[in-house]
Structure formats: structure tokens, C-alpha cells
């Protein structure tokens, strides 16, 4: 008889993050549904998140939820900027927990990529004075792409308001019953815009060198960690590279990951791209897993995403130590 591996698959082993135990290493990444009215969760969100919880994912993370109305990608984004949003979110979190999954939510601000149409409506930018449009903001007055709005450059006082909005959203997430919060610092949205020299050309303390560009993200982490329960994990989603020469890169990500961990982040969720339409992405099975591996090699727990489609593929990544989730 040939020898067999009696070891249980790592994919189906628990992962402890602070006082929260994920039943397995499979997580549902946040996926925008663009199906809200005034930011409210609906039956659609219950069905979308609930189906993945029923399917056995250990962690289900609700989509990018705007910490302010101006921080939505589209006028139909999910929101967590007012107390009235809590009830609908709580219904989804409670259902996911009842199916054995750990419920999480991603807190986000779209920055200069706000005020756009839904993907099935063309996905393009919407002017300030057009239906479904509003003024966008960013670190610098640099439009994301041709035809997009030139963002208002946030003042230092306005940046403080952004930090306060993230913290207030975390308080609402706790009230709604979520056990995990993830800060969205990827895909060209506001926190990523401050990180990337492609979008941030400020000359004050929130721009310039690495420390200046990382300042807003670290301030948001600190503010959220202060109000988020000590026993509950905080995740950070990053774009590990802009895929553009002169942009944010993997070395920057590893450096940020260490600082984020020191500030209270428990796992870095490694995606990529989104800061520039000039990006040149090399896509293939598991193409972003090396970013998670680089973060984990630096001593920071990581999550891998991106064309991981087979259980054997996921198990191999976990077995070789490329990621934790």
C-alpha cells in the first residue's frame, strides 16, 4: 500500500486572530454589489453574504461600505456613515454568524474614484452637476483618468474629518455585531491614493516621502483600533503594487505592513492595482500570492487573493507559508 498523508488540510484548520477564531482559512473578499439606496443594506445583501456563509466560508467580509456619503464609489454603494444603517447591517451579520461564519465588514472611502456610474451602466465618471454625481476629493488635484473629475485637495482639517469618519464607522460596525473590520487601502481609493506617489503630490506632512504618504492610513488604523474592541481583529487591505514604474511597490507594502501591525492590524489582505489607468498587470493563477508571501516573510500575517480557484491551489499556498488565509 502506498503511504498516504494523514495530515488534515490546512485549508480546513482554524485561524486565531485575537479572541476571534475563524473555523477555516477560506474568506469571502468584499465584493461591491452597487445595490443600495442611500447606503442601506437590503435583502440582496442578506442573500449575497448569507449564501457564502451557508457555503462554508470561515470569514465573510461585507463589501466596501462608505464611511461618508461622499466616499461612495457610486450612489448605490453600501454605507455605514449614519446610525440608521446599523439595523440592516446587523441583520446580515447575525445571519452569517448563525451559519457558522465570522462576519466582517470593509470600511472605505472612494476618494477621487467616487461619483461614478454602476458597472452595468457604463461605470464612467459622473459630473458634479449630473444626476448621481457629487464633488470628489483626494490627496492632490489630480484626476484619476481623462474625463474624470479633478478632486478637491483635502485640507489638514478635512483629513482629520476622514479619520474621524473611519472611527465612527468602526463603532457602528461593532454595534451591528461584526467581529472583523477591514480598512480599505487598496484599488486606488482614498487611503491608497495617499500611499501612492502617482496620486499624492502633496508637500505637507501627508505627502512627499514614505512616512508622509503612509500617515493617513496609519492614523486611520490608530483611530479605529482605539474604538474597536481589543479582542476583535483589524485587517488592512492593500494594493501591494501599482503595476506602474515609480508607483507604490512591494517593498513599500512590506514596510507599511510592519508599521500597520505595530499600530494594531492583525492581518494584511494583499491585492494590487487600481491607482492608475496606466497599470500593466500580469495576470495568472495565484498571481497576487507572492505579495502575501512577502508580507508574511516579514512577520506579518497575510491573506492571499486573485485567481485562487482550486482547493489544492489554496492548500499549496498555505502549506508553503505564502499566506495564512
Catalytic (active-site) positions = 189
User: How far is the first Cα of the chain from the last one, in angstroms, to the nearest whole number?
Assistant: 34
- What is the Rg, in whole angstroms, of the alpha carbon atoms belonging to the chain? 19
Other C-beta atoms within 10 Å of 54: how many? 15
Chain mean position to CA 256: 15
Q: Provide the angle, in degrees to the nearest 10, between the axes of the packed helices 86-98 and 43-54.
A: 20
Compute the distance between CA of residue 307 and CA of residue 203 in angstroms, rounded to an integer.
38
Query: Phi first, then psi: what are they for 103, rounded to 5°?
Result: -85, 135
CA distances from 104 to 161, 167, 219, 269 (A): 24, 16, 21, 13
Judged on CB neighbours under 10 Å (0-12, 13-18, 19+), 82 is middle
Q: What is the DSSP letter of 24?
A: S
**Cβ 286 vs Cβ 313: under 8 Å:** yes
- Residue 293 has a CB neighbour count (10 Å cut-off) of 18
Cα distance between residue 87 and residue 67, in whole Å: 16
Count Cβ atoms within 10 A of the Cβ of residue 221 and give its class: 0-12 exposed, 13-18 middle, 19 or more buried: buried
Tell me how far apart the alpha carbons of residues 228 and 178 are, in angstroms, rounded to a whole number: 10
Place of cell 459630473: 127
Residues 6+ apart with CB under 8 A from 313: 285, 286
Amino acid at each position: 500500500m502506498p503511504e498516504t498523508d494523514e495530515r488534515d488540510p490546512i485549508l480546513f484548520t482554524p485561524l486565531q486572530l485575537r479572541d476571534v477564531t475563524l473555523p477555516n482559512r477560506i474568506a469571502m473578499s468584499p465584493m461591491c454589489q452597487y445595490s443600495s439606496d442611500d447606503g442601506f443594506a437590503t435583502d440582496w445583501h442578506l442573500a449575497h453574504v448569507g449564501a457564502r456563509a451557508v457555503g462554508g466560508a470561515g470569514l465573510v467580509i461585507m463589501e466596501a461600505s462608505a464611511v461618508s456619503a461622499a466616499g461612495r464609489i457610486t450612489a448605490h454603494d453600501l454605507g455605514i456613515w449614519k446610525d440608521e444603517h446599523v439595523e440592516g447591517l446587523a441583520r446580515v451579520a447575525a445571519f452569517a454568524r448563525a451559519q457558522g461564519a465570522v462576519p466582517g465588514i470593509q470600511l472605505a472611502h472612494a476618494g477621487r474614484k467616487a461619483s461614478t456610474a454602476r458597472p452595468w451602466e457604463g461605470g464612467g465618471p459622473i459630473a458634479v452637476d449630473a444626476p448621481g454625481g457629487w464633488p470628489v476629493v483626494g490627496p492632490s488635484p489630480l484626476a484619476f483618468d481623462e474625463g474624470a473629475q479633478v478632486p478637491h485637495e483635502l485640507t489638514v482639517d478635512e483629513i482629520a474629518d476622514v479619520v474621524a469618519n473611519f472611527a465612527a464607522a468602526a463603532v457602528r460596525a461593532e454595534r451591528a455585531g461584526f467581529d472583523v473590520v477591514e480598512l480599505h487601502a487598496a484599488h486606488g481609493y482614498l487611503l491608497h491614493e495617499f500611499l501612492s506617489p502617482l496620486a499624492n503630490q502633496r508637500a505637507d506632512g501627508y505627502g512627499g516621502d514614505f512616512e508622509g504618504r503612509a500617515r493617513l492610513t496609519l492614523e486611520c488604523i490608530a483611530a479605529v483600533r482605539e474604538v474597536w474592541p481589543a479582542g476583535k481583529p483589524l485587517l488592512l487591505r492593500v494594493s501591494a503594487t501599482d503595476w506602474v514604474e515609480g508607483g507604490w511597490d512591494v517593498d513599500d507594502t512590506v514596510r507599511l505592513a510592519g508599521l500597520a501591525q505595530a499600530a494594531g492590524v492583525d492581518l494584511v489582505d494583499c491585492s494590487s492595482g487600481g491607482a492608475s489607468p496606466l497599470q500593466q498587470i500580469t495576470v495568472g493563477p495565484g498571481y497576487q500570492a507572492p505579495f502575501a508571501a512577502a508580507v508574511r516573510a516579514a512577520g506579518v500575517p497575510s491573506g492571499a487573493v486573485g485567481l485562487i480557484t482550486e482547493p489544492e491551489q489554496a492548500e499549496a499556498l498555505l502549506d508553503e507559508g505564502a499566506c495564512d488565509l
